Amino acid sequence: MSVFEVLDPRFAAYVMGNAPVKRLATGFDWVEGPVWFGDAGCLLFSDIPNNRILRWTEEGVTSYRQPSNYANGHTRDREGRLISCEHGARRVTRTELDGSVTVIADHYRGKRLNSPNDVIVASDGAIWFSDPHYGIMTDYEGFRGDEELPCHVYRVDLDGTVEAVITDMACPNGLAFSPDETVLYVADTGRMFSADPQHILAFDMVSGRPGVGRLFHRIGPGCADGMRVDSDGNLWSSAGDGVHCLSAEGELLGKVLVPEVVSNLCFGGRAKHRLFITATTSLYAVVLNRRGMQRP
Ligand code: MG
């Protein structure tokens, strides 16, 4: 049985029918936040409940950082440095090239952030992150604590200014820019223990800030958590049954079927055409016929 479900003829050009979805490693609890370091030939990803960041290479998996402050999403900035969301310390950090850690954001207007979840860097160097409450609702993925702020999306300028740029979502989670950065996609996974709608919103950018959000797509089964864009502008989203490929118009083109619930994904590999997928207890990868926008 193919691991690809082609729902639109356009999707056939994106996949290679005989490419397997390989399980690269397993035995984790809830993996998230994959980020590719092509220059180091490795992938970093979080195993959140076990409070660690792991490093995958072709030789296997080793520990990168433990404790990790229950780190979740990661990305790299324009200089290639690791940017991380930490539930446990309720902050976003940058790991410098010498290994020291710099705090990018941990407060907004004098109040502590909730539990930063996912993060992207724009071409101007600004850092955008989501701050839902999942990491402080229980002691499973961080430390139970009080919610001092609503669940916003923030932008951190190069000068360190933190600005709430989306303030009307229930629980913003995964983030992605379109290739030309004219559209920002944000997944809303809804508040825990609620019946909030779960969907992806698209925000047309106006003078460098998100305008009014519009419904882009509702993933099913499951919901959208982490997302990435390919070089053609398609949005690849996590879902309950794998990874869904959505056109820039929000149409479902096809699926990569994965046997566990997917949390997040990133492009990597020699030609940035290998999709790494974090899914519940395992790390998977599949080679596609498209390149991701992810740097470097
Ligand atoms: Mg997430």
Q: Is residue 294 part of a domain?
A: no
- Rounded to the nearest angstrom, the distance between the alpha carbon of 264 and the centre of ligand 1 is 7
- Rounded to the nearest angstrom, the distance between the alpha carbon of 270 and the centre of ligand 1 is 25
pLDDT at 293: 82
Q: Is it the case that residue 294 has pLDDT exceeding 80?
A: no
Q: Is residue 26 part of a domain?
A: yes
Q: What is the pLDDT of residues 114-173, one digit of tens each?
A: 999 999 999 999 999 999 999 999 999 999 999 999 999 999 999 999 999 999 999 999
- Rounded to the nearest angstrom, the distance between the alpha carbon of 239 and the centre of ligand 1 is 12
Q: How many CB atoms lie within 10 A of CB 87?
A: 28
Residue 229 domain boundaries: 4-287
The separation between CA 71 and the C-alpha centre of its own chain, rounded to angstroms, equals 12
- Rounded to the nearest angstrom, the distance between the alpha carbon of 165 and the centre of ligand 1 is 18
Q: CA-CA distance, 144 to 81, in Å (whole number)? A: 29
Q: Is residue 293 part of a domain?
A: no
Q: Which of helix, strand or coil describes residue 137?
A: helix
CATH number, position 231? 2.120.10.30
- Rounded to the nearest angstrom, the distance between the alpha carbon of 135 and the centre of ligand 1 is 11
- Rounded to the nearest angstrom, the distance between the alpha carbon of 72 and the centre of ligand 1 is 7
pLDDT at 240: 97
- Rounded to the nearest angstrom, the distance between the alpha carbon of 15 and the centre of ligand 1 is 25
Q: What is the pLDDT of residues 218-272, one digit of tens each?
A: 999 999 999 999 999 999 999 999 999 999 999 999 999 999 999 999 999 988 9
pLDDT at 290: 84
- Rounded to the nearest angstrom, the distance between the alpha carbon of 224 and the centre of ligand 1 is 9
- Rounded to the nearest angstrom, the distance between the alpha carbon of 296 and the centre of ligand 1 is 21
Cα(first)–Cα(last) distance of the chain, in Å? 34
- Rounded to the nearest angstrom, the distance between the alpha carbon of 287 and the centre of ligand 1 is 23
- Report DSSP state, residue 182: S
Q: What strands, in cross-sheet order, belong to the sheet with 242-246?
A: 4-6, 252-257, 242-246, 235-239, 227-229
Q: CA-CA distance, 280 to 163, in Å (whole number)? A: 32
Q: Is residue 242 part of a domain?
A: yes
Q: Is residue 158 part of a domain?
A: yes
Q: Are 95 and 82 in contact (CB under 8 A)?
A: yes
Q: Which of helix, strand or coil describes residue 254?
A: strand
Q: Is residue 174 part of a domain?
A: yes
- Rounded to the nearest angstrom, the distance between the alpha carbon of 74 and the centre of ligand 1 is 10
Q: What is the pLDDT of residues 87-96, one digit of tens each?
A: 999 999 999 9
Report pTM.
0.97
Q: Is it the case that residue 296 has pLDDT exceeding 80?
A: no
When divided into structural domains, the chain yields a total of 1
Q: What is the pLDDT of residues 18-53, one digit of tens each?
A: 899 999 999 999 999 999 999 999 999 999 999 999
DSSP letters of 7-70? -SGGGGGGB-TT---EEEEE--SSEEEEEEEGGGTEEEEEEGGGTEEEEEETTEEEEEESS-SS
Q: Are 277 and 43 in contact (CB under 8 A)?
A: no
Q: Is residue 295 part of a domain?
A: no
Burial of 110 (0-12, 13-18, 19+ CB in 10 A): exposed
- Rounded to the nearest angstrom, the distance between the alpha carbon of 26 and the centre of ligand 1 is 19
Q: Is residue 72 part of a domain?
A: yes
- Rounded to the nearest angstrom, the distance between the alpha carbon of 188 and the centre of ligand 1 is 10
